[in-house]
Structure formats: C-alpha cells, structure tokens
Copies of this chain bind each other. A is one copy, B any other.
Amino acid sequence: MYKPKLEKDIRCPLEYGLEVFGGKWKSRIICVLAEKKVLRYNQIRKEMVNITDAVLASALKELIEDNIIERKQYNEIPPRVEYSLTEKGMSVVPILQSICKWSGAFYNESNEKTLAQCQKCNYNVPK
C-alpha cells in the first residue's frame, strides 16, 4: 500500500482542523454538498467553476480519507457515483458559517468592492 514518505506533522488541533476542511477547495466542496446534499462528480466540478480534475480528485480523495464526505458507487450501467457529507462533515458546516458571518462583518470595511452573496451557503453579506 502507498505510504507517504513524509508523515504530515500535525502539531495541534487547530492545524488538524484547517488541514481537514480549511483551504479554498475543500471548504467550498463542503459548502456545496451542505447545500445540495448529494452530487455526482461532474456536478461538483461544475459548482467549483475553474477547478482542474487533478485538484478536484485529490481534494475529494482527502475528504473521503478524513471521513468528511462519503462516496457511494452504484453498480449500474453506466456506473453512478454519488458524493454526500458524512455526519462528521456536517459538523463542519456551523464552523464554516461562523467564518462567513465574521467575514460579512469585516470584509466591506476594508475593501472597495462588496462581496457578492455566497451562492453556496446562501449567507447574505451585509451591504
């Protein structure tokens, strides 16, 4: 079995959390699945807009390994694969929402353009 040469050096709980669901793509994938519940690979890809397959596949793989999302394969012709949040994955959503709320309070004070409403979590940034 493949074993990474350098083990990830996770030193504190904060680091573990940010590793598991922080970052641009992982957090977005979680948001989209929180909103849409069940999606196929191509649907996730479309929601992410400009992601490459390599990056999306790697993000999904890590999210599955960390038990944040579940991959369900149906043995049909053509084969169907669906992704959804696990219970652990759903428990991340309130944290992402609190980050959105914090951003809504602070973004516009320091930026010229205002943030558009987040399509993913439907959080309205105050104008």
Closest A-B pairs by Cβ, 5 of them: A13-B103, A12-B118, A17-B99, A13-B100, A17-B103
Among B14, B91, B102, the residue within 8 A (CB) of A17 is B102
Determine if B12 and A18 form an interchain contact, defined as CB atoms under 8 angstroms apart: no
Determine if B115 and A10 form an interchain contact, defined as CB atoms under 8 angstroms apart: yes
> Which residues in A have some Cβ–Cβ distance to B below 8 Å?
10-18, 20, 22-24, 27-28, 31, 66-67, 88, 91-92, 94-96, 98-107, 110, 115-116, 118-121, 123, 125
15 new A-B contacts, CB < 8 A, other than A13-B100, A88-B106, are: A10-B107, A10-B115, A13-B99, A13-B101, A13-B107, A13-B125, A14-B27, A14-B96, A14-B99, A14-B121, A15-B24, A18-B23, A22-B22, A67-B110, A95-B95
How close is A37's CB to chain B, nearest CB, in angstroms? 19
Determine if B18 and A27 form an interchain contact, defined as CB atoms under 8 angstroms apart: yes
Listed residue (A15, A99, A106, A107) with the most chain B CB atoms within 10 angstroms of its CB: A99
